[in-house]
Amino acid sequence: MRITSTALLALLPVLAIAVPTSNNVGVTIPLSKRSKLRNEDGTAAIENLRKSISRVQRKLERGFANFERNTGEIHPNDFRNSTAAASKRATGADPLTDDDEELWQGAISVGTPAKRFTVDFDTGSSDLFLPASNCNVNCAGHTLYTTSASSTARNQGSSFSLAFGDGSTVSGTIFTDTVTIGGLTATSQAVGAATRYSTGFALSEFPPDGLMGMAFPQISEFGANPFFQTLVAQGKTTASEFGFKLSTSGSELFLGGVDTNLFTGTITQVSVTQVGFWQITLGSANVNGAATVSNRAAIVDTGTTLLLGPAADVSRFYAAIPGSRDASSTVGAGFFTFPCNSLPPLSLTLGGRAFPISAASFNLGTLSAGSTTCVGGVAAVDFDNMWILGDVFLENVYSVFNTGTRQVGFATLR
């Protein structure tokens, strides 16, 4: 289904309020995480850090392009035409794990009879794709999606092609099929059957089978509802929200409400300012309780490893950390280092409330074996004054995404 333009979807007022959220009956999907940002000796995995920035750049470019195609409008934060960007571009719960690219994976079932797959859950994209049975590029070792074996699979007669940061693509044919997560079933859900995987999705680089986007249909490559919006439209959930706990243990995705066992106090809600990505307003980025930058557009993205911001903002952030240094020549463009044992308190203010960033999340590892200098988890990439709130921040909070009220909520983890 192609999405048409509407002003009501495009611009919404900013609203930040602290409210309790009911514990709706939903399902829990366990998530797991496997990190390759640190080597076994505790040093930063520099090449993987560089790849993580390249990956999110390409994903945002694709999302902005899809927004323009699906809505007929130019996204106000589209950085693709900026000079700086051009110079840089060549109710349920599901346990989650984090894969080699620091994304969060869990189990789904697709087709009739149902077949189990593992996918990354990504709030920075909107489509579901899996490796097709006739995929012959970089699909070896993954569980394959055999559309001919599913009585509910329907070929939509159109193809897709997704470009990724390594310069390669995921491409194939769009089907609809039955998709189930944690007992919640969506029928006629758009599924991409990939006949070609990019090198970044080869088994050695990407343990899960595919990817499930959880943003809005405005940035869908398929021009269709993402899985969760399909559940809501078909009345399969009791609430139009889902919650994430992203941590080294006990991580989960909760579909159809929130898991009140995982957070304390109230959930601070911040309104989506531009429907497409989960885009909100970042009140400020703080060092030692003082704001270094304020009032910035930000995308909340479980599929981004780092906490990313514009170069000028990130430079101001690190200028407030004693002993920090530009690490462009040692780690890569946009990275900084800091003294491992003297990090001041860090936080982000959202909806008027400061949420701490732990030293464990921020510290990506030492610059070299035995070094007292560490690599910081905030990096600089120019997205036209836009920040990307990735796992360096999100693993410190319980995050809630509401497609009905178009809000993102944050609460203190237990």
Active site residues: 122, 301
CA distance 134 to 138: 11
Q: Which letter does DSSP use for residue 217 in this model? A: G
Instruction: Let me know: does 144 contact 195? Beta carbons within 8 Å.
Output: no
> Other CB atoms closer than 10 Å to residue 303's CB: what's the count?
24
Which H or E run contains 253?
Answer: strand 252-255
Instruction: Let me know: does 367 contact 331? Beta carbons within 8 Å.
Output: yes
Closest CA to 248 of 37, 26, 25, 28: 37
Closest CA to 110 of 96, 127, 92, 130: 130
Instruction: Let me know: does 172 contact 195? Beta carbons within 8 Å.
Output: yes
Closest CA to 63 of 264, 205, 221: 221
397-408 per-residue burial string, b: 16 or more CB within 10 A, e: under 16: bbbbbbbeebbb
Instruction: Let me know: does 409 contact 265? Beta carbons within 8 Å.
Output: no
DSSP 91-149: -BEE-EEE-TTS-EEEEEEETTTTEEEEEEEETT---EEEEBTT--SS-TTSPPB-GGG
